[in-house]
Amino acid sequence: MRSSFLRKAFFSVSLLGLVAASPVFERDALACGGGFFENHVPGEVIPGASEAVEVTDHRMVVVMERTKTVLYDQILFHGNPKGMAWVLPVKGEAKLGLSTDKLFEALDRELGLKVVGPTVRCPSCTSISGGGGGGGGGVGCGSATASDSFSGASSKSAGPNDGAGEPERPEPELPVTVKSHEAVGPYEVVRVAGEDPKAMAEWLSKNGYKVPASFEPVLAAYVREKFDFLALRLRPGQSASAIRPVRVELQGGSNVVPMRASAAGPTDKLGITMYVVSESQAFVPSSYPVFTVPSASITWDFAKKKSDYAEVREARAAESGYRAWELVGAETKSGIGMRITVDGKYEGETAEADRQADVEAFGVAPRMITHLRANVRTSELTSDVVLEPVGSAPTLTRTPSKVSGAPLCKTFDSDCNVTGEAPASGAQIEPGVASGASRAPSAVAVGGLVTALVALFRPRKRRP
């Protein structure tokens, strides 16, 4: 039976993405011929503008390999840290480690959706007289694009990781088996098993792993399905500033993410961003409806200097009763393990081991990474997420051709005198051009990254 993994139901993460594109202006084109110019009025190039959209999401990463699955969860806790609890249903061997908030920030930069706004090219006007050449109204060649980004950058939650001391082993007084009990950085972690759902819920609460009453039916379902539970809380003396993302390695390939626990969350709607990393395939949840927001559905508003992507996405989610997941896009990335960890600010005694584990999880060779997002009602999270391959997926760039609030372009008479203004239309409006498409790396590029990784993890000499 496939092992299942992570879902955290009691925390939320704030994202704020901002990617600004700088306008690039080219010189205006000149008419060709043997005549001379009596009058020339260049065409104006009007770019779009940049937009930042704030989204509150719980973010997680699923790295799918043939022999194991690596799961990342970013925990940002609001409120009294003594009330914090994180519970993961597991089967088989599971190893918990630490990561860094910088990893999620880097993934947002690499894999955030970008909407590239259209460019308006207002017509130029050239009046020509004299011998030899012919001429006419030309079109200016300047171009500029702007984009709004839907990536993210979270608040930092990294803190000290002293790893000191072994926690006192709790003695179960209920029919619950404590299979392991250890300190992992700022966290106290236990693995428990049992056959009595009420006893399991009581044991967790009694031992400081606070779970809300709304979680108990979900807990009972997992107990009946013969799951163990990996439970995590802050160690005594640790504050909320010490909270760090966790990494869980599960032996055996798994494609199931137990999302049912999210129904016990504190809000009626939950934003979820999930990155799925695999060797070559894009993945979508087969257990939930899935939609995409194509470029043709998006309108760029020049007056507001933004697109309506967020509004279109929200409408699609509402149509599904806030149950559907969005396939934002998928792209192949190479060397991402190196890039997302090089400035990760890993801390504590296990810093180098944590960094190396993250690099190995994301890899140096090309990886297909799928960006999924959901804005779901917690009451609709009635099934675990089963990830299945999808034949095709959009890229992470949208280039809308529909516009509103089109800029005004000058109009001319036959002598190039300005006669007025008219909204840009037709061929004067060009869709944005996607840039930075992913490509498979050359052998030289991969070799260079391997060399860099060797240098990064070469043992350091101790200071005398």
Q: Three-state SS across 365-390?
A: CCEEEEEEEEEEEHHHCCCCEEEEEE
pLDDT of residue 71: 92
pTM of the model: 0.73
Q: How many helices (H) and strands (E) does the chain have?
A: 7, 30
Q: Does 203 reside within a domain?
A: yes
Give the mean model confidence (pLDDT) for residues 328-345: 82
Q: Does 398 reside within a domain?
A: yes
- Give yes or no for a contact between 358 and 103, defined as CB atoms under 8 angstroms apart: yes
pLDDT of residue 453: 36
Q: Does 461 reside within a domain?
A: no
DSSP secondary structure, 138-191, as one string: -B-------EEEE---BPP--------SPPPPP---SSEEEEEEEEETTEEEEE
Count other C-beta atoms under 10 Å from residue 297's C-beta. Answer: 16
170 band by pLDDT with thresholds 50, 70 and 90:
low
- Report which of 182, 185, 230 is spatially closest to residue 209, judged by C-alpha positions: 230
Q: Does 7 reside within a domain?
A: no
Q: Does 432 reside within a domain?
A: yes
How do 86-90 and 228-234 pair as beta strands? antiparallel
Looking at 237-345, which runs of residues are DSSP E strands?
246-251, 256-257, 269-278, 282-285, 290-291, 299-301, 306-307, 325-333
**Range from 73-87, 108-122, 123-137, 347-361 that averages highest in pLDDT:** 108-122
pLDDT of residue 211: 78
Count other C-beta atoms under 10 Å from residue 333's C-beta. Answer: 21
pLDDT of residue 239: 79
Tokens encoding 23: 């306008």
Residue 154 has pLDDT above 80, yes or no: no
Which residues are CB-contacts of 21 (< 8 A; sequence separation ≥ 6)? 50, 116, 145, 146, 147
Residue 432 has pLDDT above 60, yes or no: yes
pLDDT of residue 171: 53
pLDDT of residue 444: 32
42 band by pLDDT with thresholds 50, 70 and 90:
low
Give the mean model confidence (pLDDT) for residues 285-293: 96
83 band by pLDDT with thresholds 50, 70 and 90:
low
Pick 88 or 36 by higher pLDDT: 88
Q: Does 1 reside within a domain?
A: no
For the chain, what is the domain count? 1
Q: Does 5 reside within a domain?
A: no
Residue 329 has pLDDT above 70, yes or no: yes
Domain containing 162 equals: 13-456
pLDDT of residue 352: 81
The length of the chain is 464
Q: Does 4 reside within a domain?
A: no
pLDDT of residue 314: 95
28 band by pLDDT with thresholds 50, 70 and 90:
very low
Q: Please, what is the angle between helix 197-206 and helix 216-224, to 10°? A: 130
44 band by pLDDT with thresholds 50, 70 and 90:
low
Give the mean model confidence (pLDDT) for residues 239-253: 86
**Range from 65-79, 88-102, 275-289 that averages highest in pLDDT:** 275-289
Per the prediction, the chain carries an average pLDDT of 73
200 band by pLDDT with thresholds 50, 70 and 90:
very high
- Give yes or no for a contact between 8 and 261, defined as CB atoms under 8 angstroms apart: yes
54 band by pLDDT with thresholds 50, 70 and 90:
very low
DSSP secondary structure, 333-370, as one string: ESSHHHHTTTT----STTHHHHHHHHHHHH-SS-EEEE
**Range from 72-76, 128-132, 309-313, 423-427 that averages highest in pLDDT:** 309-313
Describe the chain by its helix, strand, coil percentages, rounded to 5: 20, 35, 45
